[in-house]
Amino acid sequence: MGINKNELLNKIQDKRSKIAIIGMGYVGLPLALEFARQGYSVKGIDINKKRIEKLNRGENYVEPHDTLLKEVIEKGNFVGVDDFSVLAEADFISICVPTPLNKYREPDISFIENATLEVKKYLRKGQLIVLESTTYPGTTEEVVLPMLESTGLKAGEDFYLAFSPERVDPGNPLYKTHNTPRVVGGITPDCTDIAIEFYSHVTEKVYRATSPRTAEMEKLYENIFRAVNIALVNELALLCKRMNIDIWEVVELAKTKPYGFMPFYPGPGLGGHCIPIDPFYLTWKAREFDFSTKFIELAGEINTRMPYEVVNLLVEALSFHRKSLAGSKILILGIAYKKDVGDVRSSPSLKIIEILRAKGIEVKYNDPFVGEIDMGWGMESSVPVEKVGEFDCVVITTDHSCYDYKMIAEKSLLIVDTRNALKGIKSENIFKI
């Protein structure tokens, strides 16, 4: 017999449903904590034992200042585990695992496949499985669905399957899990109904997609939109520099138009998991349909070029002050990919450091949110920001709001500002992108 949809809906509404989230990173952990906050019993699964130990000690490594983790642990609503057998008792299983690119810039969905294999081992009637990891259109139906149905159980009859793209902006003080709208697309209408019911208990608004692949494409469109527009302003920034025009002033003036314009800002390159990576999932999939995604590929070329342009600007700044890059000591100010977080995933700062080190340049970094990091050649520690004056040039790559930019401007011998962090501070020692 098939499952009783109404029985499962009642179980969700009464909060008797048990939740299991696979992947306790920037996506999975906030979702798990929000379900736990609402009174559900939640198991957070991760293969990283150190992460699980931290979680069960109440240490939130995603949002260090958030006290919700400790609260839900004390209430008994959340526990971290590295044992997938807890999936057997879960009514709702969410897959929130990484989806990187391989060295050929092709999708690596091995994390999704491995997580699905674990779900398959414990799949039973009455469960809802939702993939949240950003991926190419068709993944849910072409990869996850066949693996689960190989058990003999059928989606829409024995279990439910849907895709709901993550929408997480680390460090955003305004938009969190509970007030960021959700999109859900199920294999069948019933799958969508059940998924919407689950998410409606932790998110204020949930929107229906006609299929998983529509929801998968919607997520990619969000990120491609940003990648293309950032590439546009990055290219304009390079042109404006040659024309002796301040691109930052241009953007601020354009913002005065009350319609038809959305501001994007130049920078040292793209960082984070989504924007530098996800558009290439669609580029790869498009080849299956003999289609070339020219805008995406061009945007990728421009954005990938920016760390090299920052190094060129650094050379120009040093030359203007009759200094050579060779023998100079460089400080990278901010190694996280965005302000006020400790997230270094795909950070352009790392690429800039890599380029400089390949040239034999001594490079250090300061970041109040990243005390230590494995650079690939060994562990490096953040140097005190007060030592900016000991370096031949300071390159601002992340505009953390806690920085005292007046002090930095006064003490630094030379500054390359890629974020307009020193807006309003005039000095011949400041070079902007």
- Residue 388 DSSP code: G
| Amino acid 4: pLDDT | 74
274 as an active site residue: the answer is: yes
Q: Cβ distance 162 to 188 under 8 Å?
A: no
Average pLDDT, the chain: 95
Residues 6+ apart with CB under 8 A from 430: 409, 415, 417, 422
Q: Cβ distance 91 to 160 under 8 Å?
A: no
User: CA torsion, points 406, 412, 418, 421, in degrees to nearest 10?
Assistant: 0
Residue range 106-120: average pLDDT? 97
Residue 3 confidence class, pLDDT cut points 50, 70, 90:
low
The two beta strands, 372-374 and 379-381, are antiparallel
Neighbours of 375 (CB within 10 A): 14
Q: Cβ distance 99 to 281 under 8 Å?
A: yes
Ordered by where they begin, the domains of the chain are 5-210 (3.40.50.720), 230-432 (3.40.50.720)
Residue range 9-33: average pLDDT? 95
Helix axes 189-199, 5-13, angle to 10 degrees: 10
pLDDT of 420 higher than 50? yes
Q: How far is Cα 344 from Cα 335, in angstroms, rounded to an integer?
A: 7
Q: Which entry of 96, 274, 393, 402 is annotated as an active-site residue?
A: 274
pLDDT of 110 higher than 90? yes
Residue 322 confidence class, pLDDT cut points 50, 70, 90:
very high
pLDDT of 50 higher than 90? yes
Q: How far is Cα 299 from Cα 235, in angstroms, rounded to an integer?
A: 9
**Which tokens in the block code for residue 191?**
């799958």
Per-residue pLDDT of 157-196, as tens digits, reads: 999 999 999 999 888 889 999 999 999 999 999 999 999 9
Q: How far is Cα 85 from Cα 337, in angstroms, rounded to an integer?
A: 36
Phi-psi sector, 254: left (phi>0), alpha (psi -120 to 50), beta: alpha
Residue 8 confidence class, pLDDT cut points 50, 70, 90:
confident
Residue 105 confidence class, pLDDT cut points 50, 70, 90:
confident
Per-residue pLDDT of 308-317, as tens digits, reads: 999 999 999 9
| Amino acid 215: pLDDT | 98
Residue 1 confidence class, pLDDT cut points 50, 70, 90:
very low
For 41-85, the DSSP string reads EEEEE-S-HHHHHHHHTT--SSSTT--HHHHHHHTT-EEEES-GG
Phi-psi sector, 127: left (phi>0), alpha (psi -120 to 50), beta: beta
Per-residue pLDDT of 53-67, as tens digits, reads: 999 999 999 887 789
Distances (CA, A) of 200 to 113, 134, 317: 27, 21, 53
Residue range 84-109: average pLDDT? 94
Q: Cβ distance 31 to 202 under 8 Å?
A: yes
Per-residue pLDDT of 198-236, as tens digits, reads: 999 999 999 999 999 999 999 999 999 999 999 999 999
pTM over 0.85: yes
Per-residue pLDDT of 268-288, as tens digits, reads: 999 988 888 999 999 999 999
* % the chain with pLDDT above 70: 99
Q: How far is Cα 430 from Cα 117, in angstroms, rounded to an integer?
A: 54
| Amino acid 25: pLDDT | 94
Least-confidence region, from 2-6, 7-11, 83-87, 145-149: 2-6
